[in-house]
Structure formats: structure tokens, C-alpha cells
Amino acid sequence: MRFGAPLPHTTEPSSSNPQIYRVNLTPKPSILRPHCLARDRLRLWRPARSSTRQTVTIENQSPSHEVSDAQLERILNVIGLSWAQSTKETYRAGLLVFHNRCPIAHSLLLNFLCSCAGSYSRSALSNYAAGLKAWHLLHGRTWQISPSELKAVLDGAMASAPNTSKRPKRLPFTPAFLCSIRNHLNLDSLLDAAIFACLTTMFYAIARLGEFTVSVIREFDPMKHVTRASMLKMTDRNGLAVTKFHLPKTKCSPTKGEDTYWAAQEGPSDPSAALDNHFRVNPADGGAHLFAWKHTKGLRPLSKKELIKRLASIAFAADLPDLKGHGLRIGGTLEYLLCGVPFKVVKTMGRWSSETFTRYLRDHATILAPYIQASPVLEPFTRYTIPPVR
């Protein structure tokens, strides 16, 4: 039997320093709440009393078995691997806001959430509760709030949420927007070639911005981020070509990763032509980031910040609307649906495990147009492709 094998990416060292707390969110100094990176709070902020995981009582035996600090640390690391880094960063806000009240009594959490109602959106309060629940699970504390009770509180909070807490809906990208962006880029430029290839890939692969860019340049890791070696060109039995990208670590699959795809398209927004041009302008080996580009200081992975900054300048110059990164995923979804691609195929491409993506349909009646004619254009396929009625 082999025990204690090294765990991959448990700490993920960073050269970044934790940010200074806001004045109204500064916790009292305590060894239980070290000033650390936001993503590490879930693991490093400890309960006031010893963790229940450190004492194991075996039935009909005495005394209790004590778990060492090293063993406890490994338990926390293993459980912590079940959450993606982005999820941990989302959860950190709830811990900070509620920093001195853990573990949480039933009525105390409800009072906390209800006191936030009217000031925050439902999604913000939901993230607070999810972060606190994850903290309880990680440190062996009992979570006493029932799902139905929590849902009722969150629904009530949503009804009382102020308009200022609601972000405007993200405008979806379209092939026309991509073409306009292309006209304002120099595709022989090192950075521009990488950015356009990244934009078209994310659009046609229905991907998240963070899946094809890096948050911090110095923290590029081929075990976490997409590389050139993770791309594979394939052909099906009918000779139809598709390009597959393996994402080593995603929000929904932090350990196994996921695959995403696109096929060559007609017109200036073709992702295949854009990627070939990027590889021509920015040659690199298979271990490099997929959209690495030649900076004056050497090969550099494409960062989310760099892409958003360049996109904003182009949108201003081209008189385009204020486009956000998530608009690529929304736009790709809508484009395939408008082209008549079955709902279930789009759901598979976007890697949704639920019917969440169908919320994009409510404001785009043109997607449903072929299905609701007096003589439906897509009959008899409608019953196989349209989402189930809720």
C-alpha cells in the first residue's frame, strides 16, 4: 500500500502579495485569519476551536485518535482540490464580510443574509452563502441551513435588490463585430495576431475568457493553461474537419479538464485562418501558451488584462458598443442557434450541465422563429432539438 503521495498544485505558489483590506472590511488581527491571498482564505482561515477533523473517536474505543497537523493539512489540501481557483476567489468575499462569525448558527446566517437584502444582488448573496458553506465543509463544521430555507431567503433578497446592484446585460459578439475588430487590427503585429486568434477561437468554441488567457503572466503553467500541444486537428468519417483544444483545468472540471472545439468558418472571422496567422507571426514550441506572443522581453502568454485593454481601445476607435469578454460566449451560443444548430449540440459545445444557456433565448425571438411558424421550418426535428419545457 502506498500512502502520502505528493499532491499536484495544492498550494500553487504565487509571486503576488495580498491586497490591503478595505477600511470597512478589515478583520481584527488574529492568527486564525492570516492576511493571505483571497483564494487561500478558504483553507488558511481556521475555526476558533480546534478542527473537528483533528479528533477521531473510534466506536467502543478510548481514547480518541488525534490527527496530526500534517495529516490535517493534507486533508484540507485534498478537499481543496475539488474547487477551482476561480471558485475559491469567488468564495473569499463571503468569508471576509462574515469574518468574525464562523461557525455560523442557523439564525445568525439568516439574519446576516436578510440584513444584506436591499443592498446586494441575489447572486452576490448566493456566493456569500456558498463560500461560507464550503468553509464549513472544509473544516468539518456542520452546515445547518436547509436548501429550501436558503432559497427562500435568496429569492426574497432578489425581490428587494436595488437597481444599482444589477449589471446591464452583456451585449453578445457577432461575426460582424469580429470583422469590424479585425479591420482595426494589424494581423502582422505580434500582439494583434494573438488577440484576433484568441477572440475568434473563444467565439466559435463558446469558451470562457479565462480558459484561453492567463490572469497573471508569471503564473503560466502548462498543467493548468491551454498550450499549443493541447490542440489537435481531427477529421470524421465523412471527411469533415474539426479542431479540438484540451483545457487542462476549468471552473467546472478542475482536475480532469475539458475539451472544446471549433470548425473552420467562411469569411474574415474564420478561426482557423486567424490561428494559422498567429502561429506564423508568433512561432513557438508545443509547451508554449496557445496564444503566446513575442514581447520585447521574450515570449509571453496572452493575459486577460492585455486582451481586454486592446479590445476596449478597438471598440472606441471602431465606434462599437462596450463589449465584454463574456459576450464572446453569449455571442457564439446565439450564432450557432441562429444558424439552426440543435439546442442539445450547442449545449454540448458550451459544456453546460444544465439548461442555463436557454436564458439567452428569451430576448432573441429570432432563434425560435423557425420553430413557431404555422408550418415549422424545422419539423420533424423540433421535438428532438428544442429544450424541455420547464
pLDDT value at position 195?
A: 96
- Comparing 51 with 356, the larger pLDDT belongs to 356
Model confidence, pTM: 0.68
Query: CA quadruple 104, 108, 114, 115: dihedral positive or negative?
Result: negative
State what percent of residues in the chain have pLDDT above 70: 70
pLDDT of 227 strictly over 70: yes
pLDDT band at residue 386 under the 50/70/90 scheme: very low
Average pLDDT, integer, range 329-355: 85
Q: What is the pLDDT of residues 243-278, one digit of tens each?
A: 999 999 887 787 889 999 999 999 999 999 999 999
Average pLDDT, integer, range 316-327: 80
pLDDT of 389 strictly over 50: no
pLDDT value at position 282?
A: 97
pLDDT of 362 strictly over 60: no
Q: What is the pLDDT of residues 111-166, one digit of tens each?
A: 777 777 777 777 777 887 887 777 777 777 777 778 888 888 788 877 777 776 66
Residues facing 289 on adjacent strands: 227
pLDDT value at position 234?
A: 94
pLDDT of 223 strictly over 80: yes
Query: CA quadruple 226, 355, 347, 338: dihedral positive or negative?
Result: negative
Q: How far is CA 242 from CA 149, 238, 279, 289, in A?
A: 46, 12, 18, 20
pLDDT band at residue 390 under the 50/70/90 scheme: very low
Cell of 65: 485518535
pLDDT value at position 385?
A: 47
Cell of 22: 478595505
Residue found by looking up cell 514581447 in the block: 295
pLDDT of 84 strictly over 60: yes
State what percent of residues in the chain have pLDDT above 90: 31
pLDDT of 225 strictly over 60: yes
pLDDT value at position 290?
A: 97
- Close Cβ partners of 322 (under 8 Å, ≥ 6 residues apart): 171, 315
Secondary structure (3-state) at 234? strand
Question: 59: burial class by Cβ within 10 Å (0-12, 13-18, 19+)?
Answer: exposed
pLDDT value at position 258?
A: 94
pLDDT of 191 strictly over 70: yes
Average pLDDT, integer, range 291-300: 94
Residues facing 299 on adjacent strands: 294
Average pLDDT, integer, range 343-361: 77
Residues facing 184 on adjacent strands: none
pLDDT of 315 strictly over 90: no
Q: What is the pLDDT of residues 11-60, one digit of tens each?
A: 455 556 788 877 777 777 887 778 888 777 777 777 776 555 555 444 54
Let me know: does 243 contact 263? Beta carbons within 8 Å: yes
pLDDT band at residue 221 under the 50/70/90 scheme: very high
